[in-house]
A and B are shown apart, each in its own frame.
Chain A
Amino acid sequence: MHAAVLEMIYNQRNEIKENWSEKMTLVRNDVFKEKVPKTLFQDTNEEFAALIFNSFDAELEDGRAFLRSFAEKLIRMGWPLSYFTKGMQTFRRVVLESISSGSEIPSKKMYETFYEIEEWVDEMVNQLVDEYSGSWETTLHQQRLALKELSAPLIPVFDNISVMPLIGTIDTERAKLIMENLLDGIIEHRSQVVLIDITGVPVVDTMVAHHIIQASEAVRLVGAECILVGIRPEIAQTIVNLGIDLGKFPTKSSLRKGIETGMELTKRQIINV
């Protein structure tokens, strides 16, 4: 950018920043309908302003890194892109107002100055849009991976028989994921019998039992059957002590027994060799 323009912005930076912050309250109403806490909004504006002023003297690469981390922050907070674009437009307006009111720049240079500022704003917005879309993709990708790990896979063992090993604590959120996985897996593999293996579940309380019972009811609705396997002694104790009724639920002591029952249900027998 033209040295005189940079100098002007630099000299008046306090005033520009103040004007800008004030005008940003309109953006808060417009973009967020006041649903963002005031202090959070102000703090973010501070960072935004620092980013803008930094972009004037920092090396290009540094500026880019700063912009990237700001973009990541906005994404993490779920703020819309329009916060950034409107912020930049507001900044441009404030700078242009200062320039036209002051006499630092000879009027014949005015047009050139406008043009330069315009270009600079466009460049910033373009860069941020780039960062925004790039980071979005990575964030989504990471979330998907995390979800996959959290939710148990359905493993087909024989035609029509699958096993779902549950590992770790089961809260409501995970239970929902597991249920969806289970049902989708049943459709995909055309499983008639699913063995739910709870060997890896550390605690079975009323809540967990409730989730398991619901899963088995849903499994029945899509047209398959559940057998519960892998009940450790202490789990059997808590189930009875808590008065949880697993009466309707076929259970087997081991995976192998479960598979045998599954085979009978699907009219097949394990042939001893």
Chain B
Amino acid sequence: MSVQSSVEVHTEWGIVSARQAGRNLAKEIGFGSVDQARVTTAISELARNIYLYAEKGEIIIETIEQYHSSGAKKGIKITAKDRGPGIKNIREVMEDGFTTSGGLGAGLPGVKRLMDDFDIDSVVGEGTVITAVKWLR
């Protein structure tokens, strides 16, 4: 039942296609306009980080479901994977305004606030996997 799409990111166009794929899926599973914008923006941030800091990688966008006795939750999950340099100090990059590229440093802390669940898994020299989930309310 889960819909999945994967977008290669190695040019700026990858960023654009990843966020388009995200917007379409978010719309399809019934997110309102604000959450659609949140999901699209989060994808844009993660895809751009791949392009800027790891040169290439992949964005996977999928629907997920979770069942509880009180009800079921449906959501959209974004996975950003790269085999770039990795992140040495995760706490540091999660601070508002921290940047090594002259950006706003709002990307990663921003994604964390835009989405409901957020997780970074990174090994220096091997790469980074970031997952983020937005649940449908």
Contacts and interface: CB of A to CB of B under 8 A. Distances in A.
Interface string B46-70: 0000000000000000000111011
User: Which bucket holds chain A's interface residue count?
Assistant: 10 to 19
Contacts of A32: 67
A76 B73 CA distance: 11
Contacts of B69: 37, 40, 77
B3 interface: no
Contacts of B65: 35
A180 interface: yes
A36 interface: yes
Q: Which residue of B1, B66, B67 has the most chain A CB atoms within 10 A of its CB atom?
A: B67
A77 B34 contact: no
B48 to A, nearest CB: 21
Nearest to B65: A35
Given A78-B72, A78-B73, A79-B72, A36 B67 contact: yes
Interface in A10-40: 32, 35-37, 40
A152 B66 CA distance: 31
Interface in A80-129: 80
Contacts of A78: 67, 71-73
Interface string B23-58: 000000000001000000000000000000000000
A6 B34 CA distance: 55
A76 B71 contact: yes
Interface string A163-180: 000000000000000001
Nearest to A79: B72
A165 B72 CA distance: 34
Contact of A180 (B34, B67, B71, B72): B34
Interface of B: 1, 34, 65-67, 69-73
5 contacts: A35-B65, A36-B67, A37-B69, A40-B69, A77-B67
Nearest first, the 4 A-B pairs at minimum CB distance are A78-B72, A78-B71, A36-B67, A35-B67
